[in-house]
């Protein structure tokens, strides 16, 4: 599953990079919790939580049913 998540994060990455940010995959737990680190402008952005939940998490859950949640670490 890690390869699938990494592939889908690569699809999201250009949108984040266009705004000066990025996302790094840290880990995936056995129960489907994806841990990521928001980098660059995304790290301190007041909209980061919305980007994480309504953008990245929703996209991953739609495409990879095993994903239960995405959390920033």
List, in sequence order, every residue forming a beta bridge with 23; answer none if it has no partner: 38
pLDDT digits (tens, 9 = 90+) for 34-67: 999 999 999 888 999 999 999 999 999 999 999 9
What's the pTM value of the predicted model, to 2 decimals? 0.91
Structurally, the chain folds into a number of domains equal to: 1
pLDDT given at position 45: 87
DSSP annotation of 35 reads E
Domain extent at residue 30: 2-72
Max distance between CA atoms of the chain, in angstroms, equals 32
The CATH number linked to 10 is 3.30.300.130
Distance CA 22, CA 1 (A): 21
State mean pLDDT over 1-11.
95
Strand order in the sheet with 33-40: 21-28, 33-40, 69-72
Q: What is the mean pLDDT of the chain?
A: 94
**Residue 4 above 90 pLDDT?**
yes
């Amino acid at each position: 599953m890690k390869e699938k998540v990494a592939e889908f994060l690569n699809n999201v990455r250009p949108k984040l990079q266009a705004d000066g940010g990025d996302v790094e995959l840290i880990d995936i737990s056995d129960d489907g919790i994806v841990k990521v680190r928001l980098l660059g402008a995304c790290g301190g952005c007041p909209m980061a939580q919305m980007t994480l939940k309504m953008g990245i998490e929703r996209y991953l859950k739609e495409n990879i049913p095993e994903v239960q949640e995405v959390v920033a670490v």
